[in-house]
Chain A
Amino acid sequence: MSHWAFVTAAYAVVLVATAGLLSWAYLTMRKAEAAAAGLKRAE
């Protein structure tokens, strides 16, 4: 197998992991801040 397959696989791992981490962090932040703002408005 060509070494490029391994290089591609390594970069794919990095892309999936960092994109996953950032998306999860962003979505949980938006969800938590929306919940906090919603409760503040309800008061």
Chain B
Amino acid sequence: MYVHVPAAWLGMAGWAGIAAASIAQLVWRHPLAAVAGRALAPAGATFAAVCLLTGSIWGRPTWGTWWEWDGRLTSMLILFFLYLGYIALAGAEKERGGEGRLAALFGLVGAINLPIIHYSVLWWRTLHQGQSIGVQGSSIDASILWPLPLSALGFTALFGAAVLMRMRAELAEAKVEARMRRAASE
């Protein structure tokens, strides 16, 4: 619970960030939006993968199966594949010198999957348990619940650090590219 749940939250938060960056790029053409989107994707994909793997490891002794085509599991797997698609698309657009508008559109369309993941346990009551933590409270006893926000905070800090480092790398790469282009034209 202390690693799987924060990983799931961050996997989804990463795509929500991509969707916000996509809006910033498509509507306001913010110069950092594409950089933020490309920086968020690997971190989000890693946490989506961690969520899937830890869930599978938990499922084997608890449910008796490594995998089930349950609504929550399948929609989370789709999120992971969306991340891979976004990374490939954004990388290809960057290499071709594009602004990343296609990747931004993909980021926005992919956000449709977020409410599907969230409500999957209500819409398809299959194997994955229902929501344990909501706005009105939690069905988990307080004695084992308290480490969860701490764990979530720690993982969020790691996620943020990875995203900021990737943004710095992206900006430095852009500087190198601009200098080389200028040197070639002189």
Which chain A residues have a beta carbon within 8 Å of chain B's beta carbons? 1, 3, 6, 9-11, 13-14, 17-18, 20-22, 24-26, 28-29, 31-33, 35-36, 39-40, 43
Contact among B42, B47, B175 for A36, CB-based, below 8 A: B175
- Secondary structure call for the A interface: helix
Say yes or no: A33-B169 contact (C-beta < 8 A), given A6-B60, A14-B50, A39-B180.
yes
Chain B residue numbers with a CB within 8 Å of A26 are 165
Chain A residue numbers with a CB within 8 Å of B179 are 36, 39-40, 43
Contact among A3, A17, A25, A35 for B165, CB-based, below 8 A: A25
Asked if A28 and B61 sit within 8 Å, CB to CB, the answer is no
Chain B interface residue bracket vs A: 20 to 34
Q: B4 — nearest CB in chain A belongs to which residue?
A: A10
User: Is B127 engaged at the interface, CB distance under 8 Å to the other chain?
Assistant: no
Chain B residue numbers with a CB within 8 Å of A28 are 165-166, 169
Asked if B46 and A17 sit within 8 Å, CB to CB, the answer is yes
Query: What separation, in Å, do the CA atoms of A11 and B4 have in the docked complex?
Result: 10
Say yes or no: A18-B158 contact (C-beta < 8 A), given A6-B57, A10-B57, A39-B176.
yes
Contact among A14, A22, A29, A39 for B54, CB-based, below 8 A: A14
Which chain B residues have a beta carbon within 8 Å of chain A's beta carbons? 3-4, 7, 42-43, 46-47, 49-50, 53-54, 57-58, 60-61, 155, 158, 161-162, 165-166, 168-170, 172-173, 175-176, 179-180
Query: What separation, in Å, do the CA atoms of A26 and B42 have in the docked complex?
Result: 13
Chain A residue numbers with a CB within 8 Å of B46 are 17-18, 20-21
Query: What separation, in Å, do the CA atoms of A17 and B110 have in the docked complex?
Result: 24
21 contacts between A and B (CB under 8 A): A3-B61, A11-B3, A13-B50, A13-B54, A17-B46, A17-B47, A21-B158, A22-B161, A25-B42, A25-B161, A25-B166, A28-B166, A29-B166, A31-B169, A35-B173, A36-B172, A36-B179, A39-B176, A39-B179, A39-B180, A40-B179
